[in-house]
Structure 1
């Protein structure tokens, strides 16, 4: 089993936040979770104080969000490079099954581990948290 103690969820869908919390609980995954409604909110938080040194083990990142989408978040996150002491594992989670988005995620293969379609299910949770 993977050692995952902390999680950032960057997604503008509050219903998804609720469903994800429920799915984690149903699967016995007790994890410290922080939720953001867009990439800018997450970047602002990460950039404050020592937060850049205390990044989570895992980030679940939506593609389509207002203000700053998932792709823009990845670009801004990469700019923080030198200040990041350890890199979290990032999974893209999206309702978009557009080949352009799926292929774009592959371009970020050094940063993005995989791409999952919403709604995520028990099997996806197992792949992400258990391996």
Structure 2
């Protein structure tokens, strides 16, 4: 699938930098938006919906964040998903296996495409963008 508009929801600025560099290294052209918590990312998505200009097609979502964590983001995303006309693919990207609770992943299996454990690698980027 070809992605054009990436939303990275992660409070780790180093992770933001790594993603930018991996995309450059793999010659992947995509518009990127970065948010440090789920609340700001949801606000962004909702404002795009109001303007009928949702262009996000991929979200890389961390679980452990301040304000609104990844699980809370997913719960709220499910509520607005019905109003989104285009498909948005979500990959969970977390810093530890322990925060990726298999039961929670199962609970959101209709929303989450897959999950990865940080740090992101070229192989992960290729799996997401080039398959």
What is the root-mean-square deviation of aligned Cα atoms in Å?
1.6
Q: Distance in 2 between matches of 1:110 and 1:51?
A: 26
Deviations 1:49-103 (A, max 9, x none): 5456414111000010000000000001111133211231100000121176244
Write the mapping of 1:62-101 to structure 2, written as runs, cut at 5 A.
62-98=62-98, 101=101
Instruction: Provide runs of 4+ in structure 1 moved above 3 Å.
Output: 49-53
User: Which ranges in structure 1 are unaligned for 5 or more consecutive residues?
Assistant: none
Contact 2:94–2:116 (CA<8 Å) still a contact in 1?
Answer: yes
Q: What is the match of residue 30 of structure 2?
A: 31
Partner-residue secondary structure (3-state), 2:82: helix
Corresponding pairs, count: 130
Q: Distance in 1 between matches of 2:85 and 2:60?
A: 19
Shift of 1:107: 2.3
Q: What is the match of residue 104 of structure 2?
A: 104
Contact 1:6–1:33 (CA<8 Å) still a contact in 2?
Answer: yes
User: Which ranges in structure 2 are unaligned for 5 or more consecutive residues?
Assistant: none
Instruction: Provide the TM-score with structure 1 as the length reference.
Output: 0.91
Q: Distance in 2 between matches of 1:45 and 1:62?
A: 17
| Cα distance change of structure 1 residues 80 and 97 upon mapping to structure 2, 3 Å threshold | same
Moved more, 3-12 or 101-110: 101-110
